[in-house]
Structure 1
């Protein structure tokens, strides 16, 4: 009997490669998210620093020009924080979508692997039946040929 081969093996291999690529993309998105979160923390720290500096100068004496400079600078930092928060939200959504895609591909792969197992079981049972038939024929031929020589 010929060697077992799963007819959809190439499809299974391609799906496994796709899932590896998806995992790499997910890893990349997670790295982007971490970098964005670090940027947000840095911007918040910078804002706090500038706000403290502004409050210290305001308690003493500050010119109108300096005051408007600080207000614009802090407003700019807040705008950057807002943009980074939006970027973070988009990344979180992309990550969740990628996770769902990976889950669905895992389900597909699992179904292909179960199909492969079933085909292998059928192949093994057919192989076992062929071996049993061969043994039966061998034994019956031995007994028949032994009867002729008696």
Structure 2
């Protein structure tokens, strides 16, 4: 009997490569998200520091010019923080869409793998049946030869 060969092997290979590509893309998106989260944390920390410094300067007594400078820095920081938050929201939506793509690609690979396993099982059954027939023919032939002699 000829060696087992899955007729959709190339398709399975293609789907596996596609799944890996989609997983890699999702990993890049997750890393980008972590970068934005780190930026958000740094910006939040900087805003807290500016607030603390401004409060300290106000307690000591400062000029309106310095208070205005702190206020501008805080407003600018808040705008940057809002921009980061919007980018995070957009990226989270993209990640969710990519997650769906990965799940669908995974389903395709799983379907083909199950089909391959089923075909391999059928092949092994046919191979066992063929071996059984060969042994049966051999025994029958030997029995006939011994009967004739």
Fold similarity call, TM over 0.5: yes
Q: CA deviation at 1:39?
A: 0.8
What CA distance in whole angstroms lies between the structure 1 residues aligned with 2:16 and 2:135?
Answer: 41
Q: CA deviation at 1:111?
A: 0.9
What CA distance in whole angstroms lies between the structure 2 residues aligned with 1:43 and 1:95?
Answer: 23
What CA distance in whole angstroms lies between the structure 2 residues aligned with 1:60 and 1:146?
Answer: 119
Q: CA deviation at 1:60?
A: 3.8
Aligned to 1:104: 104
What CA distance in whole angstroms lies between the structure 2 residues aligned with 1:139 and 1:9?
Answer: 38
Q: CA deviation at 1:115?
A: 0.7
- Counterparts of residues 52-131 of structure 1 (less than 5 Å): 52-131=52-131
Q: CA deviation at 1:126?
A: 1.4
Aligned to 1:30: 30
Q: How many residue pairs are counted as aligned between the two chains? A: 149
Q: CA deviation at 1:56?
A: 2.2
1:132 aligns with 2:149: no
- CA RMSD of the aligned region, Å? 1.5
Unaligned runs of 5+ residues in structure 1 are none
Aligned to 2:9: 9
Q: CA deviation at 1:11?
A: 1.0
Q: CA deviation at 1:7?
A: 0.5
Deviation track 1:9-50 (CA, whole Å, cap 9, x = no partner) reads: 111111111111222222222221111111111101111111
Deviation track 1:53-86 (CA, whole Å, cap 9, x = no partner) reads: 2222233433333232222111110000001111
TM-score (norm 1): 0.90
What CA distance in whole angstroms lies between the structure 1 residues aligned with 2:50 and 2:102?
Answer: 44
What CA distance in whole angstroms lies between the structure 1 residues aligned with 2:12 and 2:25?
Answer: 20
